[in-house]
Amino acid sequence: MELGSASAFTEWGTLGIEEEFFVVDDRGRPTAGTDELVYESDPPDLLVDRLDHELFKCVIETQTPLIENSTNARQQLFAVREALVDHADDHGFAIAGAGLHPLARWRELEHAEKPRYRSQLDRIQYPQHRNTTAGLHVHVGVDDADKATWIANELRWYLPVMLALSANSPFWNGFDTGLASARAKIFEGLPNTGMPTAFSSFEEYLAFERRMVEAGSVEDRGELWWDVRPHSGHGTVEVRTPDAQADPDHVMAFVEYVHALVIDLGERYEDATNPWERYRSGDPVRRELLDDNKWRAIRHGHDASFLEPDGGTVSLGEVVERERNRLDVSGIVDVYEAESGAERQRRMHAEGADALCESLLL
């Protein structure tokens, strides 16, 4: 039984970026390609032990090496993406980025043979059988387990903001859902997903993790698929909220923002006399409020507004401007001011399926 430990939390401010992509054919349509790319060929050196497949044979995941200095994140991300595209091209495939591929019809696609995924399909059934999602996961190293748990608690209000900015999955199973991020709603059909409650300590989090594994609710800690979690194996805070992206500049905007948030919250934790006070006396920010904000992001994307914890409502644009001034981040401003991914997909869809597929290629 694989469980985490407080001893994993030793590094501060390091980064790791995980991206999920779609393997597509020469017409940009999803196709089974991960067996060939992951198992039946040698990947480029940079991707050795950093390339894996997901539930469907048309979804592939990359991981950057550990990034010790955030200023190197862009270089590492671009190098990994270039290596993946070249590897795919060498084997007759291309790579596409989106939260959901608009032409992916789950009943027509092959599931991976990996025992872990076969077990999930058997246990979870329909919600996992249809899970053609692709996301962006950002890890930030934290040097103390309790601090990481507190930061994960505090990050929850910002998650709908990231989702609204990243939303680029309006189509699922070939149809326009009317949502900006159908991926987020499809993924929430799985157990142990969505917005977590606050934990009053890492010990409480670890006890919950242990209980879920021992009870057979999950096979391992990795199946706690919440939008944010203290990763008890890597020693990081992991944000799992954004839709996958084709544009690497958009990815870097979310990496910059998540890193800045974690650094800021870590400093606030260290400066506070008793940072845990409100969690141990009952968190006043109800999860239902956070869930409503997430729904607003799912439905409206860039046009979303959010309920603030202390009352009132704020637009996404106001939050972005506030965060730029507060954290000195610029990437999320560029993302907000650009055409949203959902809007772009709908515009390209009006031009035809070929144009839409081409617009998603890396």
pLDDT in tens, 1-48: 567 899 999 999 999 999 999 999 999 999 999 999 999 999 999 999
Q: What CATH number matches the domain at 6-359, 2.30.40.10, 3.30.590.20, 3.40.1350.10, 3.40.50.300?
A: 3.30.590.20
> What are the φ/ψ torsions at residue 175 (nearest 5 degrees)?
-125, 150
Please tell me which residue, 3 or 196, carries the higher pLDDT value. 196
**What is the DSSP pairing of strand 51-53 with strand 171-172?**
unpaired
Judged against a pLDDT cut of 90, whether residue 210 lies above it is answered with: yes
What is the share, in percent, of the chain residues with pLDDT greater than 70? 99
Q: How far apart are CA 311 and CA 165, in angstroms?
A: 22
pLDDT in tens, 230-254: 999 999 999 999 999 999 999 999 9
* 213, 237, 255 from 196: Cα distances, Å: 17, 13, 21
Where residue 133 falls among pLDDT bands split at 50, 70, 90? very high
Q: How far apart are CA 320 and CA 323, in angstroms?
A: 5
pLDDT in tens, 214-233: 999 999 999 999 999 999 99
Q: What pLDDT, on the 0 to 100 scale, is given for residue 285?
A: 87
Residues 71-80: contacts with CB under 8 Å, at least 24 apart: 73/15, 73/17, 73/252, 73/255, 73/256, 73/259, 74/248, 74/252, 76/17, 77/17, 77/248, 77/251, 77/252, 77/255, 78/248, 79/46, 80/17, 80/19, 80/46, 80/47, 80/50
Enumerate the domain spans of the chain: 6-359
Mean pLDDT of the chain: 96
Q: How far apart are CA 146 and CA 178, in angstroms?
A: 40
**Angle CA(247)–CA(170)–CA(319) in degrees, nearest 5?**
65
Burial 159-192 (b: 16+ CB within 10 A, else e): bbbbbbbbbbbbbbbeeebebbbbbbbbbbebbe
Residue 59, strand partner residues: 22
Q: What pLDDT, on the 0 to 100 scale, is given for residue 360?
A: 98
Judged against a pLDDT cut of 90, whether residue 283 lies above it is answered with: no
